[in-house]
Structure 1
Amino acid sequence: MIKHIAAAAALLAASSAFAAQPGTLYAGVDVGTTKMDDVSGRSTSAGAFVGYNFHENLAIEAGYRRMGEFDLYAYGLYSEVEFKAASLSLVGTLPLGGGFSLLGRVGYNRLEAEAKVRGYGSGKAHDSGTVAGIGVAYAISPKISTRVELQRPGSDVTNLSVGVSYQF
């Protein structure tokens, strides 16, 4: 029995070896793909984020992402629409061992759309709401980690991204 307890303690110690240290900052970048409901095709996204670990399993994170550009046809008009998002989220992690962890996010998101309509000019609109996400992270070293995350920045928008971060 003691051997099992010792093995479990060693496993927990190993899984937390690369855990985020409270009071540290991190920053990173990601690339991915964005899908909008009722719009065919996907668009490439790119983003950057910065966060603060206030607990080994909780961080606050600010991010900016160019969600992509879509060609839309509505009301007899053809337009190119570019989407961008800025967010502020609470990010939680659950260590799984071996450097892997699950991550979840919930926060505030501001989406902006800029449309260019051929022959008519351009216009902008924005909407605010909740952002939610789930993913998997892998700590390559105590300072560098990667993540794969699925986010829902709007009720009709889904983004899948792969990123890397550096903990200061």
Structure 2
Amino acid sequence: MKKKISSLVIAASLTAPVLAEGFYAGADLGRANVKTPSIQGEVVNDEVNLKKNSTAMGVFAGYQFHPNIAVEVGYRDFGSVKGSEPVELNVFDIAKISGTNVNALPADLKSNATLNATLKANALHASILGIVPVSDNFSLYGRLGLARIAAKLNGGVDATFASDIAKLSKTVSVSGTMDKTTKIKPMIGLGGRFAVSKEFGVRAEYTHFGKIEDVKLSTLMVGADYRF
């Protein structure tokens, strides 16, 4: 009986590092997927699409107070996504962009223009993790939490005007902040962690964030953590 008890104690001590409770911190890097409806230009009446991927990065810290439960806080930068579309300008658009009276525009004036938009976002988040050990070194986990998401949309128009009559060749850029918002939204995630050693581990996770305005955000990240 004593031998059996001793064997159980030894086995528990060998698996303990994987399920070790305590503080940890780490960083991750991956891809952010950003989806928005077409962005309506403010200077010209046209649209630009912003359904793209960007490079995301983040840092996090947490405390695992139970083999199956941890709490975690972090910061995530979703990077920026850019979109552009060629647009046709009417005389009123040209007058607005160039700062010229409509009646003063040369009759042969030609223009080329591009509508641009850039979306940047980041989040501060706090969540609880439910952890399910699969083996001595590998575990799966689910995440449920809240994220304070800040998003900023910049847009503008780059236009070139030319006229033989007026001997004119000019490039004009008009840009500014189209929208800026900060909201608290839910976040959910699913990931896995592999314990390389007692202190060091690597993990991968897919996270979906609640929609902010009409913007949908999700990330696929790979990271590493260190347990103190």
Cα distance in 1 between the residues matched to 2:52 and 2:209 = 18
Distance in 1 (CA, whole Å) between partners of 2:35 and 2:120 is 15
The normalised TM-score by structure 2 is 0.63
For 1:133 and 1:147, the matched residues in 2 are separated by 12
CA-atom RMSD in angstroms: 2.4
1:82 and 1:37 map into 2 onto residues whose CA distance is 12
1:26 Cα offset (Å): 0.6
Q: Aligned residue for 2:189?
A: 133
Match of 2:227 in 1: 167
Give how far 1:126 is off. 1.5
* Pairing 1:99–2:159 present: no
List alignment gaps of at least 5 residues for structure 1.
1-5
| Change in 2 beyond 3 A, CA 1:98/1:112 | same
- The residue number in structure 2 matching 1:157 is 217
Is 1:26 aligned to residue 20 of structure 2?
A: no
Contact 2:80–2:118, Cα closer than 8 Å, also in 1: yes
Query: Which of 60, 77, 84 lines up with 2:122 in the alignment?
Result: 84
Between the aligned partners of 1:20 and 1:131, the Cα distance in structure 2 is 26
Residue type at the aligned position of 1:37: K
Are residues 1:113 and 2:151 paired?
A: yes
Amino acid in structure 2 at the alignment position of 1:159:
T
- For residues 70 and 107 of structure 1, the distance between their equivalents in structure 2, rounded to whole angstroms, comes to 25
Residues 35 and 52 in structure 2, CA contact (< 8 A), matched pair in contact too = no
Deviates most, 35-44 or 133-142: 35-44
Preserved contact between residue 128 and residue 144 of structure 2 (Cα < 8 Å): yes
Aligned residue in 2 for 1:60: 71
Structure 2, unaligned runs of 5 or more: 37-49, 88-114, 157-173
- 1:20 and 1:98 map into 2 onto residues whose CA distance is 11
CA distance in 1, matches of 2:147, 2:83: 23
Distance 1:72 1:64 in 2: 25
Offset of 1:79 from its aligned partner? 1.6
Whether the 8 Å contact between 1:30 and 1:48 is mirrored in structure 2 is yes
Report Cα offsets for 1:57-81 as digits up to 9, x if no partner. Answer: 211100101012112469x852211
Letter in 1 for 2:34: M
How many Å apart are 1:91 and its aligned residue?
A: 1.1
The corresponding residue for 1:3 is none
Mark the structure with the bigger radius of gyration. 2
Deviations 1:54-106 (A, max 9, x none): 212211100101012112469x8522111101100001211000400001100
Give CA-to-partner distance per residue, 1:118-144, whole Å, 9 cap, x none. Answer: 224225211211110001110011111
Larger proportion of strand? 1
Assess if the C-alpha contact under 8 Å between 2:73 and 2:124 holds in 1. yes
CA contact (8 A) 2:18 2:136 kept: no
Q: How far has the Cα of 1:41 moved from its partner?
A: 2.5
